[in-house]
Copies of this chain bind each other. A is one copy, B any other.
Amino acid sequence: MSEKTKSIPSLVKDPELVKVRRNQIIQAAMDLFVQKGFHKTTTREIARESGIGIGTLYEYIQSKEDVLYLVCDHIHSEVEQKLDEEMTHGRTGRETLVNSIGDFFRIMDQMQDSVLLIYQEMKSLPNEMLHYVLAKEELITSRFERILERGIEDGSLSLQPGYVKLTAHNIVVLGEMWAFRRWALSRHYSLEEYISHQTALVLHEMKSGR
C-alpha cells in the first residue's frame, strides 16, 4: 500500500525481530512524543517505555531522529490502512466522496494526537526523511483527487479539472483542522455536525447535473 519508505538500518539481522522490537519502540515513542514533544523526550525514556535497555534501543535505530521518522511513517501507514479498511465506495463518484470525507474525518478524530504530532514535529526530521514524510502526506491527498476525478467522469461532480488538486487539499486540511483546532471547535460542534457541514461546503461548489 505504501509507496516508498526509507529503510532505517539496524544492527540486528533477524528481520522478524527487528519488526517486533521497532513496534515496541514506535508505540512507546508515539505516546511520549504526544505527551512531551520530540525534544523533551529522552532516548532513555523511549527505551524504558519500550521495555528495552538503552543499548538495545540503539541496536534498532541509529539516531533519535530515526525514531521520529519511524513514528511518522507508522502514523501515515495507519491512516492509509484505516482508509483502506473503511473507505466505502458508493455507486457514483459523488456518493464515494461523501462517504470518504466522513470516513477520513472520523479517522482524523481518532488519530488527532498523531495528526498534531506530525504537524508539530515534522520539521525536526533530517531533510531526506522529511521528503519521504511529505510524499506520504501527498499520497493521502491524491486518494481524494482520484475520487474527485471519478466523480467528474461519471458526471456526478462538476469541477474544473484544474481545481481537483486544490479541492483534495481542502478536504484533507479540513479533516486535519478537526484535530488541530479541536480546542475551539469541539466546544461548539459534534464530530458528525462537523462532518456534515464541511461535506456540504465541499459539495456546494461541485453542484452537478443540478
Interface residue ranges, A against B (CB under 8 Å):
37, 39, 116, 119-120, 122-124, 134, 137-138, 141, 162-163, 165-166, 169-170, 173-174, 177, 180-181, 183-185, 188-189, 194, 197-198, 200-202, 204-205
21 pairs across A/B with beta carbons < 8 Å? A37-B124, A119-B120, A120-B120, A120-B123, A138-B184, A165-B184, A165-B188, A166-B185, A166-B189, A166-B197, A169-B181, A169-B184, A170-B174, A170-B201, A173-B173, A173-B174, A173-B181, A201-B201, A201-B202, A201-B204, A204-B205
- Complex A-B, nearest 8 residue pairs according to Cβ-Cβ distance, in ascending order: A204-B204, A39-B39, A204-B205, A173-B177, A201-B205, A165-B188, A120-B120, A120-B123
Q: How far in angstroms is the closest Cβ of chain B from A115?
A: 12
Chain B CB within 10 A, most for which of A141, A194, A204: A204
Q: How far is the CA of A39 from the CA of B39 in the complex (A)?
A: 7
Cross-chain contact B169 with A177 (CB below 8 angstroms): yes
Q: Please name the residue on chain B nearest to A202 by beta carbon.
A: B201
> Which residue of chain B is the closest to A165 with respect to CB atoms?
B188
Q: Give the residues in chain B near A119, CB-CB below 8 Å.
A: 119-120, 180
Rounded to whole angstroms, the CA-CA distance of A162 and B198 in the bound complex is 14
- A166 to B183, Cβ gap below 8 A? no
Per the bound structure, the CA–CA distance linking A197 and B205 in Å amounts to: 10
Chain B min CB distance to A127 (Å): 12
The residues of B that contact A173 with a CB separation of less than 8 Å are: 173-174, 177, 181
Cα–Cα, bound, A111→B204 (Å): 30
